[in-house]
Every structure is written in C-alpha cells, then in structure tokens.
C-alpha cells in the first residue's frame, strides 16, 4: 500500500469538506438575508399606509443602505465579525422595506415567477464559479468597469427619462451581475484557500462575500423584473 498517497488523499478529502462547510456557511447567510428581505417586504406591502410611508422615505432608505455598505467596507479591519454581521442583517431588513414598493408595481404572480427564474440563473452561475478552473479575476475588473459605465448611463437617463434606454440598461445590469455571481463564488472559494476557514479575518471576508452574492441575486432579480414583470 502506498501510505504517502493514502495520506494525501485523506488530507485532500478533509480539505474539500472544510471548503464545502465554509462556503455553505456563507451561502446560508445570503439565503437567510434574502428570506429576511422577502418577509419584511411582504409584511410592509400588506399594510398600505406603511408602504406609502416607505415610498415617501425611499431616498433616505436608499442613502442608509449605501451608508451601511460603505461602513462595512471601510470599517472591515476595525470591526469585529459580530458587528459586521449586525450591519449585514440591518442592510437586509432595510432592503425589505424598499422592496415592498415592487409589490405596488408588479403582480404577485410575476414576482414569484421572476424569483424562480432568478434562483435558477443564480444557481447555475454559482455552480460554474465553484467548479471552473479558469481564473475569473480579470472578469471581475471588466465587470466593474461595465457597472460604472451603466451607472453613468443611468444618471444620463434620469434626465432623458427614456423607457427604451432603461430597458437596455436592464439587460446590461442582468449580464453584469450574472457574471459577478460566478466571480464572487470563486472569490469566496479563494478566501478559504488563502485565509483558511476558522480565522476571524476569513469569517469577515466570507460575510462580505455573502453580501456581494446577496446583491448579485437582488440585482439579477430587479433586472429580470423590469424585463419580464407584469405591471399592475
């Protein structure tokens, strides 16, 4: 028996189990974040007066969401994992308030249909990002440049108010965040390879990746809703 080979196989198996456990942990954070957003959105949408309040405060809520992301990003080194986790749940909860507005715009059936399509697309790209041997680092840089370009076009369209251009923007956003899904899954995988699975820094980086995956899912969902959703 080749004992050296047996030892290598055993270490590889343990390593793979640790990787799956690490990734599952933060995919669960992403999934629970989406569930929290959905529950709060449904509850808020069921109370018309509360939805109207959210509608009037939409700008402030959006600023608060951006502020939380910046706080998590720039405070990453100083904040503990538990503090980052608290901010993450706060972000998902506030996002649920903002999301309640979509129930006023789109039918419940189309929202459910688009959610299932989003989950299918997200799942397929997650599998690709996990299994591919290709380094997606350059893809991330390319997608970031594309996202900046789309953002600038959106600012221009804010003044033009072109529905056709907005439709094209939705397709661009869809393509960008589909690509980001594979990139972010591979990034989460690399966090385990580079930092291990039990250190504080690895957990913090994993939670930030869970936030990225959450945002990937949300943006794919919104883009598909703009393209395929049935308006009330």
Q: Does position 107 have pLDDT exceeding 50, yes or no?
A: yes
| Cα 17 from Cα 14, distance rounded (Å) | 5
Q: What is the pLDDT of residues 51-80, one digit of tens each?
A: 999 999 999 999 999 999 999 999 999 999
Q: pTM of the prediction?
A: 0.90
pLDDT at 19: 87
Contact 30, 215 (CB under 8 A): no
Q: Does position 168 have pLDDT exceeding 60, yes or no?
A: yes
- Identify which of 204, 167, 209 has the alpha carbon closest to the alpha carbon of residue 84: 204
pLDDT at 46: 92
- As a whole number, mean pLDDT of residues 10-23 equals 69
């Amino acid at each position: 028996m080749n004992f050296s080979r047996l030892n290598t196989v055993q270490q590889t198996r343990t390593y793979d189990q640790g990787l799956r456990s690490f990734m599952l942990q933060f995919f669960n954070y992403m999934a629970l974040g989406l569930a929290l957003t959905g529950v709060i959105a449904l509850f808020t949408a069921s109370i018309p007066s509360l939805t109207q309040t959210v509608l009037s405060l939409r700008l402030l809520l959006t600023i608060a969401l951006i502020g939380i992301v910046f706080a998590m990003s720039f405070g990453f080194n100083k904040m503990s994992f538990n503090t980052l986790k608290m901010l993450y749940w706060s972000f998902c909860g506030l996002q649920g308030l903002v999301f309640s507005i979509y129930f006023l715009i789109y039918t419940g059936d189309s929202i459910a249909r688009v959610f299932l399509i989003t989950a299918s697309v997200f799942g397929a790209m997650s599998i690709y990002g996990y299994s591919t041997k290709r380094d997606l680092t350059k893809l991330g840089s390319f997608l970031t440049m594309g996202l900046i370009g789309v953002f600038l076009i959106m600012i221009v369209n804010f003044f033009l108010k072109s529905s056709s251009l907005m439709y094209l923007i939705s397709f661009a956003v869809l393509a960008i965040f589909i690509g980001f899904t594979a990139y972010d899954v591979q990034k989460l995988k690399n966090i385990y390879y580079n930092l291990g699975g039990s250190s504080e820094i690895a957990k913090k980086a994993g939670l930030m990746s869970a936030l990225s995956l959450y945002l990937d899912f949300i943006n794919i969902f919104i883009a598909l809703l703009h393209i395929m959703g049935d308006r009330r």
